[in-house]
């Protein structure tokens, strides 16, 4: 039985300082499933004291000790994959098979990748008479979102553990259960007291307290650009490191010599995956203007085969979006697209046919979208694709980069050489060519208002390390 009314602090489950809770709603039914405790600054203070004390010893552990710890976590995690998947499906609406395989699987994948990095990482290197030492930064505050809950938790917690840091995690209040299961896994694996702490709560209370806390050395935040700006402003007076993975409005450039059916079909399916609730979703499809009608017809066919329905139902492609607030925002933007003159190719406002309950969005495609339209500028974070036309390759690149965001980009062309040429011109932290998915050992993060810092693999580990130069260390 998952303990939702307590926090995990200093190796034990403890009551909130001031009891307060909020309901967790199933987005497929709109029914409250249970309550989860909400924390306060006082709970954060307790967790920070524990983490600061634990850092004194955990920061001195050997590589071998941390390798053994990650191996134990992996072994226990594997036994709880189905439980994690079910929690994610119930709380944020992902179809159950996808939640078990991709949502829970992403968390496991990041821990395993971090273990591989730790086994071979060089924490010290000579440089002339000096030695360069990379050592743990200290106490980390982690704030994670609801859309890929275990993915975001694991790609922060695993490298922080590998680095020798201690931490306080505030998961999303919309998806608390998978995080609580993760805390149980770490406890069973023998993570020392105070190294990992979890405090549930709201951003304006717990998130703000973490961002401002003088004894937290770094904040690792994943979420909206708006919230990321608030975190950075609150963190500034204590000059702590702030690493952020924020929003996106990622271009998917399909060039005139690409296999149109393959590229468009793959792009639409990718956009709709996870109900469009991925920060790196290819939400702006940029295609040759002369092929707009052909592209729209292909996209319409994919949208009409995409079934929005019960996450545990047979044949469901996508589930609901996470909550009423998201649903309302998406509906407003769909209506805005219609008002501003975009061509509605598939979907549209309202619930899918045959559905009368739940936060379901009709898989929606707009064509003939221009760069000044709201749906071309704002992150919708739902299963809504916009198709934009470019007269040539240069204009496609210009459109791709005409955004305040820079998290991801996608390019399909008739040859990988041409895809490489265009991919190099896209101002984004991650660019995928020819439909190839992300490489988990490669860095993940954004340019511009999509954030700073990098996660995953070696780059993710280095986010949690300070660099110290010791001159004279190798002097004769």
Report if pTM > 0.95: yes
pLDDT by 10s per residue, the chain, length 476: 789 999 999 999 999 999 999 999 999 999 999 999 999 999 999 999 999 999 999 999 999 999 999 999 999 999 999 999 999 999 999 999 999 999 999 999 999 999 999 999 999 999 999 999 999 999 999 999 999 999 999 999 999 999 999 999 999 999 999 999 999 999 999 999 999 999 999 999 999 999 999 999 999 999 999 999 999 999 999 999 999 999 999 999 999 999 999 999 999 999 999 999 999 999 999 999 999 999 999 999 999 999 999 999 999 999 999 999 999 999 999 999 999 999 999 999 999 998 999 999 999 999 999 999 999 999 999 999 999 999 999 999 999 999 999 999 999 999 999 999 999 999 999 999 999 999 999 999 999 999 999 999 999 999 999 999 999 998 76
Contacts of 252 (CB under 8 A, 6+ apart): 267, 270, 271, 282, 283, 284, 285, 286, 409, 410, 411, 412
Q: Are 281 and 432 in contact (CB under 8 A)?
A: no
Environment class of residue 327 by beta-carbon count within 10 Å: exposed (0-12), middle (13-18) or buried (19+)?
Answer: buried
CATH of domain 7-246+450-470: 3.40.605.10
Q: Which of 91, 100, 245, 455 is catalytic?
A: 245
CA angle 142–384–290, rounded 5-degree value:
130
* pLDDT score for 1: 73
Interatomic CA distance for residues 359 and 86, integer angstroms: 18
Length of the chain measured in residues: 476
Helix (H) or strand (E) holding 141: strand 139-143
Q: Is 245 a catalytic residue?
A: yes
The pLDDT of residue 374:
98
List 173, 212, 279, 455, catalytic entry: 279
Share of the chain above pLDDT 90, in %: 98
Instruction: Give me the pLDDT at residue 164, please.
Output: 98
Domain 251-439 grouped into CATH 3.30.70.1380: no
- CATH 3.40.605.10 boundaries in the chain: 7-246+450-470
Burial class (CB in 10 A: 0-12, 13-18, 19+), 469: exposed
Contact 93, 320 (CB under 8 A): yes
The per-type count for the chain, helices as H runs and strands as E runs, is 16, 22
Predicted confidence (pLDDT) per residue in 315-342, tens digit? 999 999 999 999 999 999 999 999 999 9
428-466 confidence digits (pLDDT tens): 999 999 999 999 999 999 999 999 999 999 999 999 999
Token code pair at residue 261: 């059916």
> CA neighbours within 13 Å on the CB side: how many for 348?
8
């Amino acid at each position: 039985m998952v303990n939702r009314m307590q926090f995990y602090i200093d190796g034990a489950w403890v009551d909130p300082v001031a009891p307060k809770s909020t309901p967790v709603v199933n987005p497929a039914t709109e029914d409250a499933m249970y309550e989860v405790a909400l924390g306060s600054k006082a709970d954060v203070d307790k967790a920070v004291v524990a983490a600061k004390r634990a850092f004194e010893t955990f920061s001195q552990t050997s590589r071998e000790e941390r390798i053994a710890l990650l191996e134990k976590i992996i072994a226990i995690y594997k036994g709880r994959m189905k439980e994690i998947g079910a929690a994610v499906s119930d709380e944020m609406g992902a179809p159950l098979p996808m939640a078990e395989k991709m949502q829970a699987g992403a968390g496991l994948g990041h821990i395993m990748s971090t273990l591989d990095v730790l086994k071979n990482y060089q924490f010290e290197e000579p440089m002339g008479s000096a030695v360069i030492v990379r050592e743990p930064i200290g106490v980390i505050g982690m704030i994670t979102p609801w859309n890929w809950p275990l993915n975001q938790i694991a790609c922060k917690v695993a490298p922080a553990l590998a680095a020798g840091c201690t931490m306080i995690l505030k998961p999303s209040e919309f998806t608390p259960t998978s995080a609580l299961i993760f805390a149980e896994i770490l406890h069973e694996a023998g993570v020392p007291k105070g190294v990992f702490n979890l405090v549930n709560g709201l951003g304006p209370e717990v998130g703000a307290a973490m961002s401002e806390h003088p004894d937290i050395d770094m904040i690792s935040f994943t979420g909206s650009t708006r919230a990321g700006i608030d975190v950075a402003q609150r963190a500034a007076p204590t000059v702590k490191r702030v690493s952020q993975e924020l929003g996106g409005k990622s271009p998917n450039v399909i060039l005139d010599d690409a296999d149109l059916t393959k590229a468009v079909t793959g792009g639409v399916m990718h956009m709709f995956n996870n109900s469009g609730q991925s920060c790196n979703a290819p939400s702006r499809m940029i295609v040759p203007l002369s092929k707009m009608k052909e592209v729209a017809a292909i996209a319409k066919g994919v949208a009409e085969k995409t079934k929005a329905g019960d996450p545990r139902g047979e044949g469901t492609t996508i589930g609901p979006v996470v909550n009423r607030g998201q649903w309302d925002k998406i509906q407003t933007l769909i209506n805005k697209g219609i008002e501003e003159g975009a061509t509605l190719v598939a979907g549209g406002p309202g619930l899918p046919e045959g559905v009368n309950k739940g936060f379901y969005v009709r898989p929606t495609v707009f064509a003939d979208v221009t760069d000044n339209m709201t749906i071309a500028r704002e992150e919708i974070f739902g299963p809504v694709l916009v198709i934009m036309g470019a007269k040539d390759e240069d204009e496609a690149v210009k459109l791709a980069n005409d955004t305040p965001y820079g998290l991801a980009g996608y390019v399909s062309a008739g040859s990988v050489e041409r895809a490489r040429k265009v991919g190099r011109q896209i101002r984004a932290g991650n660019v995928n060519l020819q439909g190839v998915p992300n490489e988990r050992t490669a860095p993940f993060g954004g340019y511009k208002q999509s954030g700073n810092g990098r996660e995953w693999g070696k780059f993710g580990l280095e986010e949690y390390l300070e660099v110290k130069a010791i001159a004279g260390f190798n002097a004769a």
